[in-house]
Amino acid sequence: MKPTRLLVISELFLPTKGGTTVWYDAVYRRLGGKGTHIVTAAVPDAEAFDHDHPNSIHRVWLRRVWWLKPESLGMYLRMLLQSLFLVLHNRFDAVHGARALPEGLVAWAVARITGKPLLIYCHGEELTTWGKGRKFRAMLWVYHHADANIANSEYTLEEMVRLGVPRESITLIYPGVDTERFRPDLPCDDLKQSIGLQSGQKLILSVGRLVRRKGFDQVIRAIPELLRQGIDAHHVLIGIGEDHDYLSSLARELGVAERVHLIGPVSPEDLPRWYNACDVFIMANREINGDTEGFGMVFLEAAACRKPAIAGDAGGTGAAVLDGETGYRVDGNRTEDIAQALTRILSDPDLSRRLGLNGYDRALAEFSWDQVAIKTQRLVGNDDA
């Protein structure tokens, strides 16, 4: 691909954890060299991460200040000043905002000052969790005034259209997966030993922020039913979040604490190995107070490791998990449905193998980061090889 000169404004960027930060890093390191500049937050360990990065990364202090009205005003000003400084010293093909707020509003101002095209991402969750007040109206205003918007799933696209965003301004681009990093047949016996997994026992894996809408509590509630069905299973949860103590307490109450392992964050090297260690991946997401899953990049990571996946049927997970083909989608509010899907996969090796292979083939064919970068570059109008 021909290098593209972009100004990217994103409050969140690696090494901050999260699926969207992985997305931005994977795409922009492919789209441009040092001519692509990324304005983002100063976070711990950023200096080491930025040192060898192919893009030019500019870290600014982004914190909400309680005595300002609005509290995020300082963030907007710092991003705007840094971005304006960059446009005075560099030529850009386009301006990209990682979300509608706060980045998109700043990106809109910079794009209009410079006369460059504006692209904004939409990940789905913001459409259903930001209420109907001033913040919500400002978000829609940004989408309406962008030259192009990226929706991460059919669900997100349709929600945007329902809210009045012109369909012609929206391009559907799924997230991707690093199929060189996430791949089958990685050594993982030591990981199984670290949790005391015995020969013949099954391993259920979940990865994500420990919050209620991810449905990890429902998976824990399903474990006693699995045991009654004769399925000797353990559950590993990778991630941090406010539900850590709640999930630990729930496992103790249900008498399965020795089978539920909340191991926190893991190293980038170990994460693909944990996918290889498991027999099935699950995130039984559900909608809570309008908060839902926009896509679910973790399902692609499991697929790239040739593992079947179970997703909740809320939000946009249908783009990541094809029901009956690469795994199952279930009602994340119904423990019995979750237990039934887990039982089907864990008790049928041939079914598990078929679902995992289908997901693997699909990940290789449709979800490489190179393909995501090419689709993104076309929106800039600079897609010459």
What is the spatial distance between Cα 9 and Cα 248, in angstroms, rounded to a whole number?
A: 38
Residues in the chain: 385
Cα end-to-end distance, the chain, whole Å: 4
What one-letter code names the amino acid at 354?
A: R
The answer to whether the beta carbons of residues 79 and 60 sit under 8 Å apart is: yes
Distance between CA atoms of residues 209 and 39, nearest Å:
25
* SS3 state at 277: helix
Evaluated on CA atoms 266, 270, 272, 275, the torsion sign reads negative
Q: How far apart are CA 109 and CA 116, in angstroms?
A: 10
Structure tokens at 296: 């679910």
**Domain assignments of the chain as residue spans, ordered by start:** 6-176+368-378, 189-366
Q: Do domains 6-176+368-378 and 189-366 have the same CATH topology?
A: yes
Report the pLDDT value the prediction gives residue 132, as an integer from 0 to 100: 79
pLDDT at site 153: 93
Residue 244 exposed, middle or buried by CB count within 10 Å (0-12, 13-18, 19+): middle
pTM, two decimals, is 0.87
Domain 189-366 falls in which CATH fold?
Answer: Rossmann fold (3.40.50)
Under DSSP, the state recorded for 197 is: P
Class of domain 6-176+368-378: alpha beta
Residues contacting 122, CB < 8 A, separation 6+ = 99, 100, 143, 149, 150, 151, 152, 156, 160, 170
Q: What is the mean pLDDT of each run of 10 residues along the chain (385 residues)?
A: 86 92 96 94 95 97 72 84 97 96 95 97 86 89 97 94 96 96 98 97 97 97 97 97 98 98 96 98 93 92 98 94 98 98 98 98 94 91 48
